[in-house]
Amino acid sequence: MPYQSPEQTGPRLWEQHCCLPLLPSADISELARYPLGSYLSVNVGYSPQSTRDALVLLDQFRRDALADGRFRLVERITDAVEPDPDTIALAFDLEDSGPLGGDLDNVKMFYDLGVRSLLPSYNYANAAGCGCLDAEDTGLTAYGRDLIRTLNAVGMFADGSHCSARTGLDIAEITAVPMIYSHSNFAALRAHPRNITDDQARACAGTGGVIGINGVGIFLGRNEPGQRAERIEAMADHIAYGAMLVGIEHIGVSSDFSFDGDDFNEEIARNPEIFSEEFTRYGPLRWTPPEDLLGGSEVPGLNEVLAGRGFSDAERAAVFGGNFARVAQQVWRD
């Protein structure tokens, strides 16, 4: 029997990035672990995927979502920002510009298929710019700058996650609309190359953008199997720090939960050279599951933890969904 999505037990959830296996055989019903009424953005490709690979995934995910009946595909802004308590709003994202195949006209093609955010580079330099694991950081290339302008024109989020610090700062400088860090934590609390500097955070907020705090153990410094509750507390630490640094209106939640976590860990073990020691030395990666965000599982959920720290109903509603919904209305085009 498929997992039945729990009832919404707190603020409406806007999950700006999560991952299914990047295979047409992926089980879309796994996404129903998120509460009905949520918004989800699901990855459909990063640096290894070609344009064709990403299109095949998109076609399969879209058809499977419609056949399931618990999902509605995001085509207009109202599909995302006006919750339906009986369905989950589903959009998609690209974690690298590689699936564009070097053709900026493909941004509009992917947008028309429900892709609503794209980041220029995944961990390492490509035609668009540098990644967070590069030893030399030269920021966006000329092509990358044109990419950001194209994303603005089409109405797709420009995302700085996985990019280098300079690339993220360049995005903030060039964009004419709010940018996002869909799933990035703060280096001031956890010194990891995937986490962003205070300067990056302030530049993002200066565009009107939002930083989504993720629940990945190695980015939180809480990666042991028995640290599930500690990961939630660490997410709350990053949310509180971000609220102090740039204001609560610029902070969201984007857990980066990987339904393909076992596959991802196997990939790291098989090909450690693709990743830095900052990914390989901690053992298998751990994630914060959907059930631990709004609550209803065997540990206190993030919503409950934030309430216990004094965050008001309105502040938690903003963090869990309102802030990303606001910037989507500023960036996306119907």
pLDDT in tens, the chain (334 residues): 233 444 555 799 999 999 999 999 999 999 999 999 999 999 999 999 999 999 999 999 999 999 999 999 999 999 999 989 999 999 999 999 999 999 999 999 999 999 999 999 999 999 999 999 999 999 999 999 999 999 999 999 999 999 999 999 999 999 999 999 999 999 999 999 999 999 999 999 999 999 999 999 999 999 999 999 999 999 999 999 999 999 999 999 999 999 988 888 888 888 887 778 888 888 899 999 999 999 867 789 999 999 999 999 999 999 999 999 999 999 999 8
Give domain limits for the chain.
14-331
Question: Looking at domain 14-331, which of 3.40.50.800, 3.20.20.140, 3.40.50.620, 3.40.50.2300 is its CATH number?
Answer: 3.20.20.140
The sign of the torsion formed by the CA atoms of 178, 108, 38, 259 equals negative
**What is the rounded distance in angstroms from the CA atom of residue 223 to the CA atom of residue 215?**
10
Residues 326 and 77: beta-carbon distance below 8 Å: no
Length of the chain, please? Answer: 334
Amino acid at the residue 169: L
